Amino acid sequence: MAAMLIRLPFFSGPRTAREMRNVMTDVIQSSSTSWRLPSSQRRVISFRSSVKSVQTSTQVSVPGTSSTREGKVPSSFLRDKKLAPDSDPPSMQDVNLLYQFFDQSTKLVVLTGAGISTECGIPDYRSPNGAYSSGFKPITHQEFLRSSRARRRYWARSYAGWRRFNAAQPSAAHIALSSLEKAGRVNSMITQNVDRLHHRAGSNPVELHGTVYSVICIDCGFSFCRHLFQDQLKALNPKWAEAIESLDYGNRGSDKSFGMKQRPDGDIEIDEKFWEENFHIPTCQKCNGVLKPDVVFFGDNVPKDRADKAIQAAKECDAFLVLGSSVMTMSAFRLVRAAHEAGAATAIVNVGVTRADNFVPLKINARLGEILPRVLHMGSLSVPASR
């Protein structure tokens, strides 16, 4: 086994002094290795090549992780471990398998789902601890369009949940994935999430289901920043806004807490008596039309140009990796299926079953915040510190 000192292999081009600070290069170890899935899996995937392991550490500035606009929320509320499904720590074999999946690809597409954000305090729908487990049913596109009462309920809940949602910070998984992207190991990223945590970590993925950080008019298509919409809601509902800003985070059953319970996509479940009568919603400043978050609700379709861009990336990649998604929605499932049918290598890292388990050969059951930083450290870089 040969060992030699090298420079950072995953980075090219000039680096600033800040990017280079605290960088340490150790050694590269080469060996011919073949990794195989357990025999219980339906198919076998094998990688045969020289495995490189370089240990370094670095600090990378992550834009957008230090500021929030509407005040601080107790960190214990954001980091509620019950939101992330239980899973055993990833084994060394799991880490090696995932590292080789990254290493062997030259045009890798990554699809992320809610599982990458549960460790940030944002709940999902389908995990054992998800919203569906308590009987929650999200609003549908059709319900939002036809019912002013449904819109009032949605925006009241969303307004109440915004401060906490907006305070969420990227996890170690978001930051590790962004570092792998900057190192050239990820060619394209698609996310089902609407929380913009990838952006705060320095990535710019295709947002398959849109984002709650924009509001759009369903009549004329005018869109604007969610922060401005929050200001409009506050101006129209001053007493409501004052009550929300003094929420009792410690006692979820009290009237002062509005009977709230955190839900995915930025809203909070609130007792009906608190929003049914006197909550007012702004209308479009251009045409007086109905405003909605710029997200794809259940029952709606992904905009064609966005869907086409995602499916093209899936069909043209040589490897497709699903991270933290059960791919139960067709908009996500069709991407991994298209990549598989086009001959790409496919893999999934998720806690629990997925819709694609019967044809994806490499499936790892692990929390992303536990496995992705280890893959990054093994391959070239340790997780950069967020600022």
Q: Catalytic residue among 141, 209, 227, 377, which?
A: 209
Residue 108, token pair as written in the block: 């890798």
Angstrom CA distances, 377 to 10, 159, 236, stand at 12, 39, 50
| Tokens 């410690």 belong to residue | 250
Cβ contacts of residue 367 below 8 Å, gap of 6+? 84, 85, 87, 90, 115, 119, 173, 351
Residue 210, Ramachandran bin (φ over 0: left; ψ between -120 and 50: alpha; else beta): left
Contact 325, 113 (CB under 8 A): yes
227 catalytic, yes or no? Answer: no
Q: Would you say how long the chain is, in residues?
A: 387
Distance CA 126, CA 189 (A): 22
Cβ contacts of residue 258 below 8 Å, gap of 6+? 160, 243, 244, 247, 268, 270, 271, 274
User: What residues act catalytically?
Assistant: 209
